Chains A and B, each alone.
Chain A
Amino acid sequence: MPMDAYEPTLFELDHKGKGRIWFSEPEGTSPVDELLPQDALRNAPLNFPVVSEPEVVRHFTRLSRRNFSIDSGFYPLGSCTMKYNPKVNDALSQLPGFIGLHPESGQEVSQGTLRLMVEIQQYLADLTGMAGVTLNPCAGAHGEMCGMMLIKAYHDDRGDKRSIVLSPDSSHGTNPASAAMAGYKTIELKSGPDGCVDIEELKNHLNEDVAAVMLTNPNTLGLFEKDILEIQRLAHDAGALLYYDGANLNAIAGIARPGDMGFNVVHFNLHKTFATPHGGGGPGSGPVGVCEKLLPYLPVPIIGEENGTYTITRKSEKSIGQLSTFFGNVGVVLRAYIYMRMLGIEGIRNNSFNAVLNARYMLKQLKDTIPPEIEGDCMHEFVLTLKDHERFGDLNTMAMAKNLLDRGFHAPTVYFPLIVKEAMMIEPTETESKRTLDAFVDAVKEIIEEYKTNPEHVLHAPHQTPVRRLDEVTAARKPELVYAD
């Protein structure tokens, strides 16, 4: 079966007719039409396809083969930290004792999971220099929203009405969107020529209406905010709190702590820094750490410990409230727990050294071929730009990305951060070998060379993928979102 053959949707595989028997009729019970009123039931049978198990398994196996994944190749998606996801995390987090535990079982009979949750809260707090951590948010953006709400609760509690959040124009799109969910208006700070926060720009916008300054550090250009201590002093002097977007924590975990830099709130992306699988777009997990003065506002339920018993506390006077149905994505948290315990602090620190070294090595190999937006010591990722039209002609970032797909690599993050034209953001992570990094560098160079001799071919890539460039304009103009018979 060629990889590029059309795979019918399940709805086209419909045999119609009668399906398999999954459950025997329970003994000693009446049929449903004697138990439920007729007008509560479906008028027409459910319009689902009837497909046999062998066909379902083959269908999804074939679909899986049309996916790129970390296990199949290099995935240098900047700011997404696509590192290897150890199999041990999946296996041990899915023991029957974990996945069979109902969230309403009661703390008395849930001590195993609760203990691991209390411990990882402590590890995450210690790792970032925070006073307390909640595991409830289900993803990074959920954590950001939680953090913004904590900040709002803190100011409101003091009778200090503030309405503005400042964040750099290089920030992740979730930052202003999360601030908006908490009811804040975001003002974007223009980055300085060195790619970092411009102190004068910050001073101009800081005032008594600013609730928080939201930063990613290292920032999305892969640069450590060199003036971080000055930034924190200015922000705090203006009465604002400092928020740390943990998307890039993989650069500095164990090396330097956001808490020591003056950050008041931190969110983690366990699916980035702590190697839990991304699952094709979740589930992730976005714990939030806070400094001492924000502890009273943490969301409920709160998982804690009293005299050797692990506890669930559902009420807390000043809490922002509840953020997820139960306790967040516990299955993801357990994976991160396993990972952290295996590595220990020296292992986590070693990750940071290797993540940064790999990025630095690639940057050195690539910068004469494609220039970085900003010269300087990158951390775990870096941003190159193909904006020099005289030098690169029509070979833009999109074309580069698609040619990399043809050569068996996932593309870097492209056209982000928004402040860089023709941006290509590369994050190799620590789990890639030198051989892989070299192969990627060679591929980029080959593409540049091939463009000189065969530009049409390069500009119309990809050619080797299951489908080629897709018509996104028509897809958005006339959205076809469900299969119609």
Chain B
Amino acid sequence: MDFIPHTQEEFLDMLREVGLENRNDLFRTIPEQLHHPDIPFPEPMTELEIGDLMHAAAEANRGAKMPSFLGGGAYDHYTPHAIPALVSRSEFITAYTPYQPEVSQGTLQAIFEFQTFMSRLTGMDTANASVYDGASALAEAALMSCRITRKNKVAVSSSINPHYLRVMKTYLEAPGIEWVEIPCSEGVTDIKQLKSIVNEDFAACFVQNPNYFGNLEPVDEFRSAISAPKCLLGAVVYPHSLGLLKPPGDWDADIVVGDLQSLGMPVQFGGPFAGFVSCKQKHVRQLPGRLVGRTKDVDGKTGYVLTLQTREQHIRRSKATSNICTNQGLCALMATIYMSLMGPDGLRQAAETSVRNAHKLQKRLCDIDGVTMAFDKPFFNEFVINLPMPVESFIDTARELGLLSGIHIKSTESAGNDGLLVCATEKTKADDIEFYIDVLTRILE
């Protein structure tokens, strides 16, 4: 029976009802030579058996149990229990895109609230209902900036997450949009280089704060450093940090993107996460993806609908602002519930605790002989250290000892020496820090 309600008898009755004898007759419009393919496949399993298999596979992920100091775009923040309890409600998880608004007000109102939260968090006027992840958000924003300005070139700081840059490159290569990287100096965007590179040929200049190395960028200098008046300023942000840090709206960004994972989602091997794009009001018609608007019904009651749909693929087809259809709705809902539960104080506490734990960790690590900071810059909850040994072999040895110590930053990425990107969050325990010190000391000896 599996997940099919019909018994064999019912199946045969219905088959006769439609005038057929044999179940293969259902497919008589398919050319005969295509029938009966030989498909190798493992035997079916019961629910009990697949449970054993999955538990064993989960157990084989030894990394999931190790103290972890990994960040780099996926962060182990605290998830309040109310989030999984609410998002696992059937009415949210087994619904689809709210095509029939009268019976989708739950999803629609939640997206409207999400848009409001994201606009307030980033200091922008509005936000879309989510895209796939932070990387695709950057890529979509780059394309969006080209549509707005009718230019074919974007500048990106090389301190942006390299995964994001690689994804953006994939998206930009196909339509033939040029991109130029602005080098780093001392672990942040080199403002002098930015000034000399970015001119009126550029649609936008994108920067990330805190940047991939965890450093705080000179955000107040970007707008004035872009001499071309029409060139947009794009920001990649870490939503978790915005409980504390100055939002991009305050430094006059036009488009803000990022990944929502830090707002209540587990690291889950990198997905599902969700990206967002928020922007100034005047650019709203160039946003990719779904948007929800508030309106009234025929009785004058408040309700919500998908709106500005003429931007989208199901109406505009090849002229749409993006091809995106299914996005990351449930993840955006998780972020919405997270922001509701945390409120302004909780979000600030989470950010502050991350920052303080990271600084505590940094101080302890750099007390060890030969361990130094790669950059002398203020940092948020991640930082890059240099080690008196090859970074890659340190990472491997530490892993064998049960510690996920950080991410290898190659010298080409940072314009410095090979480094180790180390991250702490509000969940980082004092014991884990001691373990790190112990492992590092042992390996260096």
Contact = CB atoms under 8 A, between A and B. Distances in A.
A256 B293 contact: no
B62 to A, nearest CB: 4
Contacts of B119: 482
Interface string A97-133: 1111111111011111101100000010011010000
Contact of A142 (B58, B61, B74, B132): B132
B416 interface: no
A48 B339 contact: yes
A152 B174 contact: yes
B243 A46 contact: yes
Interface string A141-154: 11011001100100
Interface residues of B, number: 199
A49 B134 CA distance: 25
B105 A63 contact: yes
A471 B307 CA distance: 10
A467 B64 contact: no
Interface in A455-485: 460, 462, 465-472, 474-476, 479-483
Nearest to B79: A99
A99 B115 CA distance: 26
Nearest to A433: B5
Interface in B155-196: 161, 163-164, 166-167, 169-171, 173-176
B253 to A, nearest CB: 15
B106 A344 contact: no
Contacts of B120: 46-48, 482
Contact of B95 (A9, A69, A127): A69
A379 B26 CA distance: 8
A101 B267 contact: yes
B10 interface: yes
B271 A99 contact: no
Interface in A320-375: 320-332, 334, 338, 341-348, 350-351, 353-354, 356-358, 360-361, 364
Interface in A199-255: 223-224, 226, 228-229, 252, 254-255
Given A88-B50, A470-B102, A471-B295, A40 B378 contact: yes
A331 to B, nearest CB: 5
Contact of B399 (A106, A229, A483): A106
A32 B352 contact: yes
B199 interface: no
Interface stretch (B27-35, B144-152, B368-376, B436-444): B27-35
B224 interface: no
Contact of A66 (B99, B109, B166, B274): B109
A1 interface: no
Given A82-B96, A223-B29, A224-B29, A282 B330 contact: yes
A68 B41 contact: no
A450 B173 CA distance: 56
B284 interface: yes
A14 to B, nearest CB: 9
A43 interface: yes
A387 interface: no
Interface stretch (A19-27, A389-397, A441-449): A19-27
B45 A183 contact: no
B57 A112 contact: yes
A482 B246 contact: no
Interface residues of A, number: 200
Contacts of B357: 26, 29
Contacts of B34: 228, 256-257, 260-261
B328 A30 contact: no
B360 A102 contact: no
Contacts of A27: 430
Interface in B208-233: 216, 219-220
B291 A350 contact: no
Contact of A36 (B97, B295, B378): B378
A345 B396 CA distance: 40
Contact of B136 (A46, A59, A86, A138): A138
A40 B215 CA distance: 11
A39 B85 CA distance: 39
A115 B295 contact: no
Interface in B298-324: 298-299, 301-305, 307-310, 312-320, 322-324
Most B-side CB within 10 Å, residue of A51, A82, A85, A354: A354
Given A183-B175, A481-B293, A342 B44 contact: yes
A283 to B, nearest CB: 4
Interface string B395-420: 11001000010010000000000000
B426 interface: yes
B355 A36 contact: yes
A177 B95 contact: no
B86 A60 contact: yes
Nearest to A299: B170
Interface in B80-125: 80, 82, 85-86, 88-107, 109-110, 112-113, 115-117, 119-121, 125
B348 A46 contact: yes
Contact of B317 (A4, A176, A329, A354): A176
A90 interface: yes
A5 to B, nearest CB: 10
A291 interface: no
B59 interface: yes
Most B-side CB within 10 Å, residue of A48, A85, A252, A405: A48
B197 to A, nearest CB: 23
Given A69-B91, A434-B10, A282 B130 contact: yes
Contacts of A462: 102
A479 B290 CA distance: 13
Contacts of A481: 112, 115, 126-127, 284, 291-294, 307
B40 interface: yes
B431 interface: no
Contacts of B328: 138, 279, 282-283
Contacts of A26: 353, 356-357, 360
A278 to B, nearest CB: 4
Contacts of A439: none
Contact of A330 (B40, B171, B269): B269
A95 B58 contact: yes
B317 A278 contact: no
B343 A20 contact: yes
B6 interface: yes
Contacts of A51: 340-341, 343
A102 B404 contact: yes
Interface string B48-73: 00110111111111111110101011
Nearest to A256: B34
A178 B6 CA distance: 38
B318 A6 contact: no
Contacts of A155: none
Contacts of A96: 58, 64
Contact of A141 (B104, B244, B323): B323
A406 B275 CA distance: 35
B445 interface: no
Contacts of A145: 323
Contacts of B14: 357-358, 361, 434
A184 B216 CA distance: 40
B50 A92 contact: yes
Interface in A270-295: 271, 275, 277-284
Contacts of A260: 34, 37
Nearest to B14: A361
25 contacts: A23-B346, A36-B355, A40-B216, A46-B121, A50-B343, A51-B341, A60-B340, A61-B89, A63-B106, A69-B90, A71-B90, A97-B57, A102-B68, A115-B60, A126-B40, A173-B325, A174-B314, A229-B31, A255-B35, A277-B93, A281-B329, A282-B329, A323-B167, A357-B26, A431-B3
A-B pairs, top 7 by smallest CB distance, nearest first, are A326-B270, A97-B58, A344-B44, A279-B330, A103-B270, A109-B63, A112-B60
Given A98-B57, A483-B113, 4 more contacts: A29-B360, A281-B290, A342-B44, A342-B45
